[in-house]
Amino acid sequence: MDFNQSADENLFDRARIIGKPHKRIDGALKVTGTAPYAYERNDVVENHLVGYPLGASIAKGRITRMDAAAARNAEGVAAVITALDIDELPRADSNVAKLFGGDLVEHYHQAIAVVVAETLEQARAATSLIEVEYEETPGEFDLDDAWKRLQDRDVINEVGDVDAAFERAEVSIDEIYHTASQSHAMMEPHASIADWCDGKHLTLWTSNQMIAWSKKALATTLELDEADIRLESPFVGGGFGGKLWLRADAVLAALGSRETGRPVKVALPRPFIFNNATHRSGTVQRLRIAANKDGRITAFDHSAISHTLPGGSGEDAVNQTRCFYAGENRRVAHHAIDMNLPEAADMRAPGEASGLAVLEIAMDEMAEKLGLDPVEFRILNDTQVNPEEPHKRYSDRHFVECLQKGSEAFGWRERNKVPGSRREGQWLIGQGVAGAYRGAITMDSGARVRLSQGKLVVETDMTDIGTGSYTIIAQTVAETMGVTMDEVEVRLGNSAYPVSSGSGGQFGAASSTAGVYAACLALQEEIGKRLSIESPRFENGRVVSGDQDLGLFEIEGEELVGEDTLHFGDFQDEIELGTFGAHFVEVAVNAYTGETRLRRMLSVCDAGRILNPITARSQVLGGMVMSIGAALSESLSIDTARGFFANHDLAGYEIAVHADIPEQEVIFLDTLDGASTPLKAKGVGELGICGGAAAVANAMYNATGIRLRDYPLTLDRML
Ligand code: MOS
């Protein structure tokens, strides 16, 4: 099915199930510990061995010698495969860092050996018996050095005359900001069980957001036909972008299985993940904003650098500055610096999370300089068109309403106007606001729906990374086919099913439900043909047409199947699709120690039809928590001499948790975006993290009068 124009205005206007709060249909499996996660697939895998990885202890160079004889002779060890035993594996397009093989070391904790043994303890103990010698070469590990060195940055786009606008500017700012490198720190580590016993057919039970991409990457890396690979990833314990790609766990498990002729499971140990897998790159950003005295922005000039392994793309922190606010003149420049740290790649809202953390502080600074309320200043500079290409209108943008509704609900009017002027005992109290923006990408998505034994069974390779995919897909089938939620069975995360959008870039919910909707229409057509009736209606479990009225599950004969892929048409290139929001934060900063405590946070979101307010709310709450972590504590500390992230466990890498945030609230605007999908939905999974960090920074400024521009905003920076 092609989606080529705005959705049918009346479609699901009076939805029964879509848009209503439904508890997760997979909830019971999860809370009882019976949801099958990759590492625990003892139900399908027998007689497996356990693999344990060894990582390089240098950041750059070559391995000159490896001696694994003692490890091979250790108790319980079935096999040891070292990087020197095999040639470098071919790299899939989606893998910048190499995953295994050959003597070249490109980053710290690159996998250089795997020990396969009867037990985890035996495998782990034997890795310590492997002797490795290296020839180390100097690397680049310091982003600030690069910033100083690199004067010219690649201009991505410029409209108007930015330099002239700054010369004429009545009010302007020009500041440098830093955001930290961050780790996904998902609860479930990267984990896989591989059965490649015959060296030809590979079955992989894994934890991955994108089944089709990973199958392709596996085929390239292991030089297999895609047809000989089967991937299952029905439950994913958090991804955040870290599981978009094939990682070392899958490759090491596969190699171990081929070598031993038995299934092998590998989970990347937590202290290994931080340097072995991907992370969000830190950034250095310079932002200049110019405005007239009346508060209208005349120019933006935003340049940023991030780091990447050679061949990668880094964190593009300037993207939102191109389109979020009005202003005739704008220039954005970005440069990804080749550095020899582990692979930088996508993490929840890649780009905007780091970009808005900075842009929204700068907007606060501008508002103050202009003597305007920061909410009013943002409203004044709203746009309904893409300011770079004004012929492109936003299909549905309610940023102003987010700010207004949020101000009202939060009690923004009572905020103290003079920074540092509200004190309760030893605590300084402040409030801050920030805008949120994230694109609304759509991706073609397929599904298959079968009418089978009193159920509608839907199959798609879509994943549920904790987001609620199972539930919203069941809602889509129930709504479209006129049945109850109980009559739908959802099967996900299997490469035997039709290729979906997968989960990423907050495109999963909107795209995958569109694909499921298309498959339901295909099934309806099949049913019409079987019954030889024209345009049947599907309601209350019945198929109705003219004077025909038949129970859906009473249709006789062969099983009925509908399969389709929803293709999103080019018309979306000619409009702007986005999601918008506003965050409001109240903090208390200790007047003596500088410690910041969150008191409350409210986020208002404008993201089209909210398919399920319970699961969507959880998504936004999670994003908000992550933005608070980004503001206050999350930072991979780079050892700039040796080139690795020094804090590589959950004790040293501090994420925000529920106890850090006593009160969180989410408000959804009731909007429908017919240009986005047939269901008029957009994603919301990343919107919550966009801008939240700046709202915290702005609240801290309001509390103390101290403006911090370098994340994380730890208490030592308050001094
Ligand atoms: Mo997201 S960072 O595309 O999983």
Instruction: Determine the pLDDT at residue 719.
Output: 81
Residue 259 lies in a domain: yes
Residue ending a domain, among 548, 572, 596, is: 572
Ligand 1 mean position to 368 CA, how many Å?
Answer: 34
> Residue 341 in contact with residue 330, Cβ under 8 Å?
no
487 given a catalytic annotation: no
Rg of the chain, C-alpha, whole Å: 27
Atom number in ligand 1 closest to CA 348: 2
Establish whether residue 98 lines the binding site of ligand 1, counting it when its CB lies within 6 angstroms of any ligand atom: no
Count CB-CB contacts under 10 A for residue 177: 23
| 454 Ramachandran zone, left/alpha/beta (phi>0; psi -120 to 50) | left
ipTM over 0.90: yes
* Whether residues 492 and 634 fall in one domain: no
359 in any annotated domain = no
For residue 206, the cross-strand partners are 192
pLDDT at residue 558, rounded to an integer: 85
DSSP string, 353-415: HHHHHHHHHHHHHHHHHHT--HHHHHHHT--SEETTEEEEEBSS--HHHHHHHHHHHHTGGGS
Whether residues 296 and 208 fall in one domain: yes
**Residues 288 and 423 occupy one common structural domain:** no
Residue 372 belongs to some domain of the structure: no
CA distances from 306 to 36, 144, 170, 282, 342 (A): 37, 10, 31, 6, 13
Token pair recorded at residue 320: 């939102």
Pocket probe for ligand 1: among 190, 511, 686, 687, the residue whose CB has the most ligand atoms within 8 Å is 686
Mark whether 183 and 307 lie in a shared domain: yes
The answer to whether position 382 is within a domain reads: no
Q: Which residues of the chain have pLDDT under 70?
A: 151-153
Q: Which two tokens stand for residue 703?
A: 């509390």
Q: Is the domain of 136 the same as that of 276?
A: yes
218: containing domain = 37-350
374 within some domain: no
Please give the angle made by the CA atoms of 414, 418 and 424, to the nearest 5 degrees. 70
Domain end: 552, 572, 592, which one?
A: 572
Cα-to-centroid distance, 712 and ligand 1 (Å): 22
Which amino acid appears at position 211 of this protein? I
| Residue environment code for 98-128, b if the CB has 16+ CB neighbours within 10 A, otherwise e | bbbbebebbbbbbbbbbbbbeeeebbbbbbe
Which of 244, 279, 469, 690 for mutating ligand 1's site (highest number of atoms within 8 Å of CB)? 244
Same domain for 617 and 652, yes or no, is: yes
Task: Supply the pTM of this predicted model.
Answer: 0.97
| DSSP state letters, 492-549 | -SBTTSPP---S-TTTHHHHHHHHHHHHHHHHHHHHHHHHT-SS-EEETTEEEETTEE
Whether residues 470 and 538 share a domain: the answer is yes
Distance from Cα 213 to the centre of ligand 1, integer Å: 13
Check whether residue 406 and residue 298 sit in a common domain: no
As to burial, measured by CB atoms within 10 angstroms (0-12 exposed, 13-18 middle, 19+ buried), residue 657 is exposed
The CATH number covering residue 532 comes to 3.30.365.10
CA–centroid distance, 685 to ligand 1, in Å, is 9
Q: Is 506 in the pocket of ligand 1 (CB under 6 A)?
A: no
Whether 110 and 53 share a structural domain: yes
Under DSSP, is residue 694 helix (H, G, I), strand (E, B) or coil?
helix
Distance (Å) of CA 353 to CA 241, 597, 670: 13, 21, 24
pLDDT digits (tens, 9 = 90+) for 86-107: 999 999 999 999 999 999 999 9
Structurally, the chain folds into a number of domains equal to: 3
> Do the domain assignments include residue 368?
no
Distance of alpha carbon 347 from alpha carbon 210, whole angstroms: 14
Single-letter code of the amino acid located at 417: K
Residue-wise pLDDT for 326-360, tens only, equals: 999 999 999 999 999 999 999 999 999 999 999 99
CA–CA gap between residue 271 and residue 331 (Å, rounded): 40
Ligand 1 atom with the shortest distance to the CA of 503: 4
Best mutation site among 346, 442, 469, 690 for ligand 1, i.e. most ligand atoms within 8 A of its Cβ?
A: 346
Q: How far apart are CA 462 and CA 501, in angstroms?
A: 7
Q: Is 279 in the pocket of ligand 1 (CB under 6 A)?
A: no
- Whether residue 381 lies inside any domain: the answer is no
604 and 468 part of one domain: no
Q: Are residues 520 and 605 in the same domain?
A: no
Check whether residue 426 and residue 487 sit in a common domain: no
- 73 located within any domain: yes
Choosing from 297, 321, 350, the residue where a domain stops is 350
